[in-house]
Amino acid sequence: MTKGVSVFYVSYPKHFDGEFDTRKQSVEVDFKGKSVPIKEVYWDKESRFISIELEEPIIGKNQAKITLSNVRNPDLGTYYLVCDVKTSGDIPLRVYLGTWIMDIAPNN
């Protein structure tokens, strides 16, 4: 991350049929080895994304790690999760951070 961040957006494909726990204690953002206070977590099921709004923006060129606990994963499949952020500052922008592949294999 090269800009300050006030909101993370994690979107997922239409065929993802898992479920997310959006209680604050089930979502963690780690920045510089410390947990960042979260203001609100919102799951828009229709538009297929979760937004994680921080109490205070994080600023710096370090990586942030998002941990979602109590997730009910789909039975199997490959899913592309996309992360965008809303930058902090005078003119907030929505900026693409990256895409991660999640592959769930059947239980044996």
Per-residue pLDDT band for 63 (boundaries 50, 70, 90) equals confident
**Please, is 78 exposed, middle or buried when counting C-beta atoms within 10 Å of its C-beta (0-12, 13-18, 19+)?**
exposed
Mean pLDDT for 39-59 is: 96
| CB 51, CB 42: distance < 8 Å | yes
| CB 101, CB 79: distance < 8 Å | yes
Per-residue pLDDT band for 91 (boundaries 50, 70, 90) equals confident
Please report, as a single letter, which amino acid is at residue 81: L
Average pLDDT, the chain: 90
Q: What is the pLDDT of residue 66?
A: 93
Q: What is the pLDDT of residue 62?
A: 79
| CB 8, CB 52: distance < 8 Å | yes
